[in-house]
Structure 1
Amino acid sequence: MSYTQKKVDVLVLGGGAAGVCAAISAARAGKKVLLVESQGCLGGSRTATGVDTFYGFYTPKGQQRIVGGIPWEIAQLLTEANAAFERKNTYGAGTGITYDVEILKVIYEQSVLDSGAELLYHTYASRVHVSDGYITGVVLANKQGLTEVSANIYIDTTGDGDIAARSGAPFEKSDAAELQSLSTIFFMANVDISAAKSVSHDELAARMRKANQSGHYSLPREEGSWHITPHAGVIQANMVRVSGVDATDPYALTLAEVEGRRQTRQYVRFLKEYVAGFEDAFLVGTSHHIGIRETRRIQGEYMLTEEDVVIGRKFEDGIACCGAPVEDHGAGKDTRWVYVKDDGYYHIPYRCLVPKEIQNLLVAGRCLSATHSAQASARNSAQCMAMGQAAGTAAVISLEQHVPVSSIPIPLLLERLRSQDVVI
Structure 2
Amino acid sequence: MDIVVLGGGAAGVCAAISAARGGRKVLLVESQGCLGGSRTATGVDTFYGFYTPKRQERIVGGIPWEIAGQLTHANAAFERTNTYGAGTGITYDVEMLKVVYEQAVLASGAELLYHTYASEVHVSEGLITGVLLANKQGLTEVSANVYIDATGDGDIAARSGAPFEKSDTNELQSLSTIFFMANVDTAAAKLVSHQKLAAKMKEANRSGQFVLPREEGSWHITPNPGVIQANMVRVSGVDATDPYALTLAEVEGRSQTREYVRFLKECVSGFEQAFLVGTSHHIGVRETRRIIGEYRLTEEDVVEGRKFGDGIACCGAPVEDHGSGKDTRWVYVSDDGYYHIPYRALVPQKVNNLLVAGRCLSATHGAQASARNSAQCMAMGQAAGVAAVVSLEQNVQVRSVSTGLLRERLRSQDVIL
Specify the TM-score bucket, using the shorter chain as the normaliser: over 0.9
SS at match of 2:229: strand
- Structure-1 separation of matches of 2:112 and 2:346: 23
C-alpha deviations, 1:269-305, integer Å up to 9, x for none?
0000110000000000000000000000000000000
User: Cα distance, 1:61 vs. partner?
Assistant: 1.7
- Structure-2 separation of matches of 1:406 and 1:343: 29
Residue 365 of structure 2 corresponds to residue 384 of structure 1? no
Q: Match of 2:294?
A: 301
CA contact (8 A) 1:176 1:245 kept: no
Structure 1 residues 192 and 51, CA, compared in 2 at 3 Å: closer, same or farther? same
Of the three residues 334, 354, 359, the one matched with 1:341 is 334
User: Cα distance, 1:176 vs. partner?
Assistant: 9.7
- Structure-1 separation of matches of 2:12 and 2:302: 24
Counterpart residue type for residue 251 of structure 2: V
C-alpha deviations, 1:237-265, integer Å up to 9, x for none?
00000000000000000000000000000
C-alpha deviations, 1:178-217, integer Å up to 9, x for none?
1000000000000001100111111100100111011111
Residue 117 of structure 2 corresponds to residue 102 of structure 1? no
CA contact (8 A) 1:12 1:155 kept: yes
CA contact (8 A) 1:59 1:343 kept: no
C-alpha deviations, 1:331-351, integer Å up to 9, x for none?
000000000014510000000
CA contact (8 A) 1:201 1:225 kept: yes
CA contact (8 A) 1:177 1:331 kept: no
**Percent identity of the aligned residues?**
84
Q: Match of 1:196?
A: 189
SS at match of 1:82: coil
Aligned ranges 1:118-267 → 2 under 5 Å: 118-174=111-167, 178-267=171-260
Structure 1 residues 315 and 175, CA, compared in 2 at 3 Å: closer, same or farther? closer
Q: Match of 1:367?
A: 360
Residue 11 of structure 2 corresponds to residue 18 of structure 1? yes
Q: CA RMSD in A?
A: 0.8
Of the three residues 36, 42, 59, the one matched with 2:35 is 42
User: Cα distance, 1:67 vs. partner?
Assistant: 0.2
Q: Match of 1:5?
A: none
Q: Match of 2:75?
A: 82
User: Cα distance, 1:107 vs. partner?
Assistant: 0.2
CA contact (8 A) 1:61 1:343 kept: no
User: Cα distance, 1:229 vs. partner?
Assistant: 0.2
C-alpha deviations, 1:19-53, integer Å up to 9, x for none?
00000000011100000000000000000000000
- Structure-2 separation of matches of 1:313 and 1:296: 24
Residue 282 of structure 2 corresponds to residue 289 of structure 1? yes
Counterpart residue type for residue 252 of structure 2: E
CA contact (8 A) 1:128 1:138 kept: yes
CA contact (8 A) 1:243 1:331 kept: yes
**TM-score, length-scaled by structure 2:** 0.99
Counterpart residue type for residue 352 of structure 2: Q
C-alpha deviations, 1:303-340, integer Å up to 9, x for none?
00000000100000000000000000000000000000
Q: Match of 1:116?
A: 109
Q: Match of 1:3?
A: none
Aligned residues: 417
Structure 1 residues 228 and 50, CA, compared in 2 at 3 Å: closer, same or farther? same
Q: Match of 1:279?
A: 272
SS at match of 1:265: helix
CA contact (8 A) 1:86 1:96 kept: yes
Q: Match of 1:326?
A: 319
Q: Point out where structure 1 has 5 or more consecutive residues left out of the alignment.
A: 1-7
CA contact (8 A) 2:305 2:336 kept: no
Counterpart residue type for residue 127 of structure 1: E
Show structure 1 runs of 4+ deviating over 3 A: none
Residue 344 of structure 2 corresponds to residue 351 of structure 1? yes
SS at match of 1:341: coil
